[in-house]
Structures are given as structure tokens and as C-alpha cells.
Amino acid sequence: MIMKDAELIPVTVKKMNNNGAGNISLQLIAQAGSVLPRYSPGAHIDVFIPEKGPRQYSLCGENGGEEYYEICIKLAPLSTGGSHYLHHQLNVGDGLKISAPRNHFPLPQARRFLLFAGGIGITPLLAMAEEIAKQNIDFEMHYYVSREQETAFMSRCSAPMLANHVFLHYSDANDSLRARTPACLRSPDAETAVVACGPDGFIKRLQDIMQFNRWQPAQLSFERFSNAELNNNADNQGFHIQLNSTGQRFLVTPSQTIAEVLLSAKVDIMLSCEQGVCGSCITDVIEGIPDHRDCVLTEEERAENTQITLCCSRSKSPVLVLDL
């Protein structure tokens, strides 16, 4: 991620604790002279891992962020170094640098909510559930997890404000989303918003269930862990990008991303997940037709063709003029 040090927030690890099998929760407090901005449910931060770069984590604390930020990290079996460092090298009292919160997964407006969490996808939804409960809005939260992971956030899920609204589904007890459709999804309701977070397969299955039961696609808001469109590169074509401010043009070959080309040209851009799931690199398009491959922009935003994610999307036109 290209970000000036002045834009980063220095924090200290206040607490570390196990939070379900393979997960650790961190409480981060601002160092002297720094302030933690408040955030809304669904927000995330970038945590800058020494020698590894930024890794993105949802904020899952209960307090909106004034006293501390809380994140939960699952140790990835094929970790590229981020989760391994946080699990095995980080200690209480250590310092880190983080970005300010960004929210590309806000809680929509609705009279009723159905929340679906797949595994560690509980992190943004937990803060959402607590906010919904505070507003006395009707909701259900369905948490899909294996029994060995069931201790993750169980104290908060079983607290009085959530206890009667949280339904646990154990995948190792044949109660996965693929094996069984919850009753709440069998009859569509125009005043209900469905909000989900989980891996690609989990989100795809939820979309299929909603389509089968005649829910409207716009009723679903989701965030997923990876972007299946990243593998859609068989038909990649080369194209040019042009900077609106200078008129400079650069060739993007079939094997390159727009972000890679811009970084090589020393163009200052924001970059974080590099998978099209965070929205950090969204940039305005002045001319041209983007080939959208992200998981952030809505269908309406894609149709407008006025924005593009630099990390993964491409171009359907020979030239894209970017607002850079």
C-alpha cells in the first residue's frame, strides 16, 4: 500500500488472547500523541506487518473505537507471512502502524436484518448485530462454524442483547448452508436486508439460495475473503491507461495489473488487499470502459463505468483515462 507515514496511526498491542481454534484477538491502543478515529460497523483497517506490508482486518470491537481497536486474526494454513507474524512473533506491548478505518461494507437501512457469518466472517457482523440490537430492530444472525471454533466470540454472542437472535450452525454436524436452508430465507420479505461475510463458496451458496427463493439481488450486501474473478485471466488483453493530469500513457500487458504499471511509473496510489475486496484503490474513470473484476462496486456503480479498482480490474476499451 502506498501511504505516507503521516497518514498512519502508531498503536501498541494492549491485549492478546485466543478466540476460538486458530484465532487470536488483538486490542490496539493509540500511542501518545495519536488518536483512534471512531468507526461504524463493517469498517476495516490495514495493519502494516514488518517486512510483509499491509494486511486487512475487520474491526470487531464493542465501543466504536475511541478507547481501542479490536481485530481477530485467523492463522492461515498457507499464510504469506501476515497472520503467521501476528500469531507467532507479536507480543503485548509491541508497536504497529495501522491505517485509519475505511468502510466499504456499511450496514444498510432496513426494517429487519438477516446476518450470515461463515467462520471468521463473524468479525464485521458482530459489531453490526450489536448496533442493530441497540436500535431495537428485528434481526437474526446465523453463525456457521465448526465445533472446534465455537468459542470465537461466544461470550458476546451469548450476551443478553444478542443471545435470542444468534443461531449457531455446525458444519461438522451436517448443518452447513449447503446442507440446509434456514427457515428465514424460504420466504422473501421486501423490508428485510441480508448481510453476509465469509469465503467465496459460502457467499455463492447464499446467493443461489436467495435467487431460488425469489429474493431480490439488491437485498444482499456481502463481503468475502477472496475474489474468484482474480483467476479470470485467460482472455486478458493489453490496453493503455492515461493519466488525466499529465496525459502520460502506459501500456498494461495481459500479465500486468493497472496498479503494477502505475507503481512502476512512480504514480502515487492507494493499494491494500490487491484482490479487489477492500476498495482502497478505487479511482475515478474519465474516459473508457472498465472491465470490472472486483467484489466492492455495486452493479449500479459498475454500470456507470465511472470508477475502477486498480488492483484487479482491466479495460474493455483500448484506452482508460484515469483521474490521476
**Domain parsing of the chain, residue ranges:** 5-98, 112-224, 231-322
- The Cα–Cα gap between 62 and 124 comes to 11
Evaluate if residue 5 carries a pLDDT over 60.
no
pLDDT band at 172 (very low <50, low <70, confident <90, very high): low
Given a cut of 80, whether residue 159 has pLDDT beyond it is yes
User: Could you tell me whether strands 112-118 and 95-98 are parallel, antiparallel, or unpaired per DSSP bridges?
Assistant: unpaired
Are β-strands 249-252 and 53-58 bridged in parallel, bridged antiparallel, or unpaired? unpaired
Domain 5-98 has CATH 2.60.40.1510: no
Residues 119-128 have a mean pLDDT of 91
Paired strand residues for 44 = 58, 102
At residue 240 the predicted structure's pLDDT band, cuts being 50, 70 and 90, is: very high
**What span, in angstroms and rounded, lies between the C-alpha atoms of 194 and 216?**
10
Name the CATH topology of 112-224.
Answer: Rossmann fold (3.40.50)
Considering the chain, what is the average pLDDT of its residues?
88
Q: What is the C-alpha to C-alpha distance for residues 272 and 254, in angstroms, rounded to an integer?
A: 22
Residue type, 301: E
The pLDDT assigned to 21 comes to 75
Q: Is the domain 231-322 a CATH 3.10.580.10 member?
A: no
The reported pLDDT for the residue numbered 80 is: 64
Q: Give the amino acid at 201.
A: G
Question: Is the per-residue pLDDT at 4 higher than 70?
Answer: no
- What SS3 state is found at 119? helix
Q: What's the distance, CA 276 to chain centroid?
A: 10
Q: Comparing 302 with 189, which gets the higher pLDDT? A: 189
How confident is the model over 36-91, as pLDDT tens digits? 999 999 999 999 998 888 888 999 988 666 789 999 998 876 556 788 899 999 99
13, 107, 187, 222 from 193: Cα distances, Å: 36, 9, 13, 11
Give residue 1's pLDDT band: very low, low, confident or very high (50, 70, 90).
very low
Predicted TM-score (pTM) of this structure: 0.75
